[in-house]
Amino acid sequence: MAKSSGQKKLAGRMRRKARVRKKVFGTGSRPRLNVFRSAKHIYAQVINDDDSTTLVAASTLDKALRGNNEANKTDDAKSIGLAIAERCKERGIAAVVFDRSGYLYHGRVRAVAEAAREGGLNF
């Protein structure tokens, strides 16, 4: 049976994600900053892969970050990057490893990374 174009795109991203995840591993001293983007929202998590725990998370669905309706999706991604950096500082996390989840380092994914760097995270 033939795959639809959406299934092909997802399968390609999953292959790229697996290739990246072979190399990127978050530890307790340097956890992994994972980014997921959907058509409407963007999510970021800081994960300790040693314990399989999420330490910090932020998304455009958070009540504190949801109110900005006039901004475009890239501006929302910047606010997520700043929020995740602020929450990491509160938890004492200074350095992370960036996991782009198979997405191109472009657009919203890049906006999250650059805003997190501006917020004080090292990666």
Residue 123 in any domain: the answer is no
Tally of structural domains, the chain: 1
16-50 residue pLDDT tens: 999 988 888 888 899 999 999 999 999 999 999 99
Residue span of the structural domain in which 79 resides: 5-118
What's the CATH number where 11 sits?
3.30.420.100
Residue 71, pLDDT > 80, answer no
Q: Which residue has the tokens 């999420």?
A: 54
Confidence of residue 6 (pLDDT cuts 50, 70, 90): confident
77-94 residue pLDDT tens: 999 999 999 999 999 999
Distance separating alpha carbons of residues 42 and 33, to the nearest angstrom: 13
Q: What are the tokens at 48?
A: 């300790």
pLDDT (0 to 100) of residue 3: 80
Arithmetic mean of pLDDT over the chain? 92
SS3 66: helix
Residue 57 in any domain: the answer is yes
Residue 40 in any domain: the answer is yes
